[in-house]
Each structure stands twice: as structure tokens, then as C-alpha cells.
Structure 1
Amino acid sequence: MGEAAKEHMRGHRSRLRERFLKGGPDALADYELLELILFLAIPRRDVKPLAKDLIARFGTYAAVLSADVERLGAMPGLGDTAVAAIKSVQASALHLARVQARSQPVLDNWSAVSDYLQGVMGNMAREQFRLMFLDRKNKLITDEVLSEGTIDHTAVYPREVIRRALELDAGALILVHNHPSGDPSPSRADILMTKEISEACDKVGVKVHDHIIVGKTGQASFKELGLL
């Protein structure tokens, strides 16, 4: 890269940082937000083309952050340092969302919980089944991944749900899984599985408050749909 090109790149980076600091994230396009991350990992190269390629490949800024390490690593020009930088931003965002979700009883803080679940699961390429364990006052004890599956199926067994709930002395729980297709509408299998888990939990005094299905841009609640 010649001196003129280097000077142009330095000027571009400076202007982009200034726009971000003055106007916040809304002042930048998705690819420009990615540029800010890539600046730190790739100091001596114009990263705008790479940032645009990432958006073209994954679709959105959020989808880039949520992409797994293997898929990111397969992108030409994206090394381990850049992949780590991208994933660290996602990890920081999810940590903040988790803290906010745990700050008060879940049922009184549903907006923060919903945002957290969307961030964790909204762009996953495979199905994942997650359990949110609540204490007797409906505060979050922990949330854990119970199983991971294929693009359209994950196996869940009521006995595993009950065993873990009793280990944690949970008084209630919320079932959560994602639909990689993007459509959060419950399938017949989802409805039957939820019924089995809810009935099994009732027998040991654990309340199933809801089952949330997370899609790419929204969620479905079994409770709101009258299915639980």
C-alpha cells in the first residue's frame, strides 16, 4: 500500500470513529460498525471491502456477530485475531443482556429477557433447546443449554429437565428453543413436547411458566398463544 493510500485509510478510520463517537451506532451503517471492530484486529489494511463481504454473506450485523467461529474463519481475509474481535463484541453484548435479565424477577422484566434470548438464539444455524431456571420468587437462577440438534430438530427428554430443575432447587422454569428457519410458529411436535414436559414438571412441583420459540426477527410465546 502506497503512502497516499495509507493516508486515505487513516483519514477514513478517523472520520468513522468521530461519526460513531458523536452520533452513536445509529449514525453508521452495519458494515461501518463492523469496520470499527476490524480496525482493532487488522491495523494495516483497508477493511471496508471485508466488512461489506461479511454483511453480504451473513445478512445483518447481528448475524455476523452470532455466526460461529468456523463459518467466520472460512471467510477469506478474516484471521483468528479478527474472528476473536468479532466474537468478543458478541460476548460483551450478551453478558450485558444477561445481567439485565437477572436484575429482577423474570416475569416483571420480560423485555430484557426477550432481548437476551433474541441475541443469544435469533441467528443460530441449528436448533438449540435452552432452559431458564427460576427460584421461588421467579428470579433467574441460571439458563443452560440442554441440547443442540440439526437445522430443524433437537431431542429433549422430560426426565433430563426434571433432574436438572431438582438439582438447582428451581421452583419454575421457562423452556426456550429456536427455529433456524426464522419462523417462530410452534410445530405440532413442539406442542406435544411442551405438554409432556409441563405435565412431568407438575408432578414434582415445578411450574413451567412458558415456552418461547425464537425466530430470526421475533418470538412466539406458548402462554400468549393459549398453548400452555
Structure 2
Amino acid sequence: MPITDWPSAERPREKLLAHGAEALSEAELLAIFLRVGLPGKSAVDLARDLLKHFGSLAALFAAPRPAFSAVPGMGDAKYAQLQAVLEMARRTLNEEIRGSSALDSPEAVRRYLGLLLRNRDVEVFVALFLDTGHRVIGCEEMARGSLSETRVYPRELARRALALNAAAVIVAHNHPSGRADASEADRLLTRQLAQTLALIDVRLLDHFLVAGHRVESFAEHGWM
């Protein structure tokens, strides 16, 4: 049965307008994005098939273009739309964290770093540079590595902090394996970064680890 024949209260778009996006399931949200289904399948049915095929909403967003476009009913146009949605979310969160103190909006920082680093197939190390009011003045990728490691040089981080006149730094990296515990190498690197930055009177406020859907704070876990 097409969605247009459903009771109004059960249609994803009407449900969103009446109760907000948070009231919808992942399949219903995805159905609004898809707009139409396939012969014999509603947009919600197609959305459920997509989620089952890729395993999760996050995996769907991270799917390579050939894999996504190969699914019946999808294609390059839908892939481009999906990537545009993801990039708009990243830019919205980037504006949010730049407009206020990173310490006053820690959840926005977590969400931004999660979107930035989740589902990468190699380790990526990024730094958020903050001014004296802890507002974000820059976000830069500092290193990119193999599946299991990346090379980060404390002196390079310190050089960029000086160039941007930063007063504090928040760093983050991902674990493509999905392992959410910091390794001893991760903790050693964090201490080295903090010590090097301290020499130029810049504070390392936190180090975030992105692993799957989890974004773990070194400071909160006592890993600094």
C-alpha cells in the first residue's frame, strides 16, 4: 500500500510535522529522504530494506558510492543527496561550536567530532584550536595513517597553535576497528602533546576518541 493511502497520523511526513523528527524511526526518517518507493514497496519498506542491507543508518551514510548506487532504486543522484545532507549536518555543527565556548557546548563538540571522524577506514587525527574564550578558531587534520595507526608530531601541533594564536587545543582521533578503549600509545601521545603545548603556554583541554557510535573523552576517563 502506498504511503498516500496510509492514515494521515501514520505517514512519516505528517508524523514529523505533528510530533517532531525525534518521534520517527530511522526507517521513517529515511523514507522522507527517499520520497518514493519502488513498485510494490512503499518508501518506508524501501528504507527498511536499505537499513537491513547496510546494517545501520551510520553504515548507510558511510557506504561507498558504487555500493550505494548498486542498490535497486538508488543511484548517483540519491548518493549525492545523501552526502549533501551529511555535509550540511557537519557544517551546521561546525557553526554551532564556533559560535560559543567549546566548554559551554561539549555535546556539540562531541557530535561534530563524531560526524567528522566516524566511519573513516584509516586513523585520522584532527585538532580544534581555541582562542582565550575557548571559541573554535580552526579545525585541521594533522595526520592520517594506516588502518591501525597514524603519526602525530607534537611539534607540528605546537607550530599550528602558535600560527593561529591559539590559547587551547582539543584533539581527536578515530579507531576504525571500533575499539573504544585508548591504547597505551594513545595515552602516551596525549601526555606528550600536553607537555609540548605547555611549553608555549597552550592548554590541551581534551582528547576525544571516536569509535563507531561512541565518542569517548580522555579527560572524563582520566586518560590524560
TM range (shorter): 0.7 to 0.9
Encode CA deviations 1:52-109: one digit per residue, 9 max, x unaligned: 3331233332442344545534545421110011111112222222222222111122
Shift of 1:208: 1.1
State the identity as a percent: 36
Give secondary structure in 2 for the equivalent of 1:91: helix
1:38 and 2:34 correspond: yes
TM-score (norm. length: structure 1): 0.82
Q: Distance in 1 between matches of 2:66 and 2:201?
A: 42
Which deviates the most, 47-56 or 185-194?
A: 47-56
1:65 and 2:61 correspond: yes
1:133-212 paired onto structure 2 within 5 Å: 133-212=129-208
Which deviates the most, 46-55 or 130-139?
A: 46-55
Q: Distance in 1 between matches of 2:152 and 2:67?
A: 26
**Cα 1:67/1:172, change in 2 over 3 Å:** farther
Which deviates the most, 66-75 or 170-179?
A: 66-75
Which deviates the most, 179-188 or 65-74?
A: 65-74
Which deviates the most, 27-36 or 119-128?
A: 119-128
Encode CA deviations 1:83-142: one digit per residue, 9 max, x unaligned: 011111112222222222222111122122122222322333332211010112211102
Which of 84, 87, 94 pairs up with 1:88? 84
CA RMSD of the aligned region, Å?
A: 2.7
The equivalent residue for 1:22 is 18
1:123 and 2:119 correspond: yes
Match of 2:187, as an amino acid?
A: I
Give secondary structure in 1 for the equivalent of 2:221: coil
Unaligned runs of at least 5 residues, structure 2:
none
Q: Is the 8 A contact 1:66 1:90 kept in 2?
A: no
Unaligned runs of at least 5 residues, structure 1:
none
Match of 2:89, as an amino acid?
A: A
Which deviates the most, 67-76 or 122-131?
A: 67-76
The equivalent residue for 2:52 is 56
Encode CA deviations 1:130-176: one digit per residue, 9 max, x unaligned: 10101122111021222223332222122321222222111110110
Q: Distance in 1 between matches of 2:16 and 2:120?
A: 28
TM-score (norm. length: structure 2): 0.83
Q: Distance in 1 between matches of 2:45 and 2:186?
A: 42
Shift of 1:17: 2.1
Match of 2:74, as an amino acid?
A: L
Q: Distance in 1 between matches of 2:4 and 2:121?
A: 36
Q: Is the 8 A contact 1:178 1:184 kept in 2?
A: no
**Cα 1:43/1:100, change in 2 over 3 Å:** same
**Cα 1:105/1:73, change in 2 over 3 Å:** same
Q: Distance in 1 between matches of 2:69 and 2:197?
A: 42
